[in-house]
Amino acid sequence: MQQSFLITSKTEQKSLKIFDYRYNGYLADYLDRYTYDPVFGKTSTAHYLKKMQNTVQDEVDEQMSD
């Protein structure tokens, strides 16, 4: 989060740890592409979450094998 430098509270800064997570980009890419699928009924929430888990895990596994 670009504006996180404005946060002065250490507690709030620590709450943003996900943005330092090594594989956060994989999750962000998936969310950017498919967020509205369950919202507009193109898929069920359960299917969406399972596919997200599998897709992101595959990308993490691929990077770890490099």
Question: pLDDT at position 1, please?
Answer: 52
Please list the ranges in the chain whose pLDDT falls under 70: 1-5, 16-20
Q: How many domains does the chain have?
A: 1
Residue 8 belongs to some domain of the structure: no
Range of the domain at 41: 21-66
With respect to residue 5, please indicate whether it lies within any of the assigned structural domains.
no
- Would you state the pLDDT for residue 2? 58
* Residues 55 and 30: beta-carbon distance below 8 Å: yes
**29 lies in some domain:** yes
| Domain annotation covers residue 2 | no
Please report whether residue 51 resides in a domain: yes
Residue 35: predicted pLDDT? 92
Residue 10 lies in a domain: no
